Amino acid sequence: MWARSLAVSLVAGAACALAGAVGAGSANADVTPFIVGGEDADQEYSFVVSLQNSGNHFCGGSLIEPEWVLTAAHCVDGSSPGSITGRIGSNDRTQGGEQVRAAEVVVHPDYDPTGAGGDIALVKLSAPAESAPVSLGSGTGAGTQSRLLGWGQTCPERGQCGAPVQLQQLDTQVLTATECSGIDGGTELCTDNPGGDAGACYGDSGGPQVVQAAGGWELIGVTSRSGNGDPVCATGPSIYTSAPAYADWIGRQTGT
């Protein structure tokens, strides 16, 4: 399995050592996905965030308010806010966009590294970002067409390739929850692996699953983990935390 996580610390000499190389001082030592079978992003996504520790990408995130980034709990659980910086609105994880330090980390109280559900967290920024945030979506039913975004590993075997510098995207769809194992169907999304060999991988953790709406994008999912327990990426569907399912909690924390 990708473990409970989909993050990767892109440290020199260990660019693809997903597990055991979690950045930001996370207490979780095994964080996982990169998008396998995707392509370079064909547009700018103002809300996409590369969460970094000392300049090294370790997880993705989504700017949902000028001062708030939504990510996976396993990415930041146990982390010191002072160790986290977000590069926001750039398809290149090494340059561009804007960089803002974190001021606070809020992990959902239901998060359990060994169980389903609750794999969601908020990172409050030290200053409002200028980039345009993404709104939360509402439709998450089976058949919903969506797009995955991330800087995760592009080869399926763990540690067999380096992380892409350019943001990757992959179009896919939401499946019925029964297509994934170990899933909480009320708060998580089972997301297809197109062609049986494409999907999230090590390093994509916390990144967005979005849907098109009114000429823009809305956020429906946060990359969480493998949906079939296989450590080889894209051999089965992926599990994403449903952002709409946690809309009330998000609103209480952010005051919106």
Any idea which residues carry the catalytic annotation?
Answer: 74, 119, 205
Cβ atoms of 21 and 202 closer than 8 Å: no
Cβ atoms of 52 and 90 closer than 8 Å: no
β partners of residue 104: 124
Distance between CA atoms of residues 145 and 33, nearest Å: 20
- Amino acid code (one letter) for 67: E
Measured CA to CA in angstroms, residue 209 lies from 14, 35, 59, 60, 70 at distances of 26, 12, 14, 11, 12
Strands 216-226 and 135-136: parallel
Contact residues for 140 (Cβ-Cβ < 8 A; gap 6+): 174, 189, 220, 221, 242, 244, 245
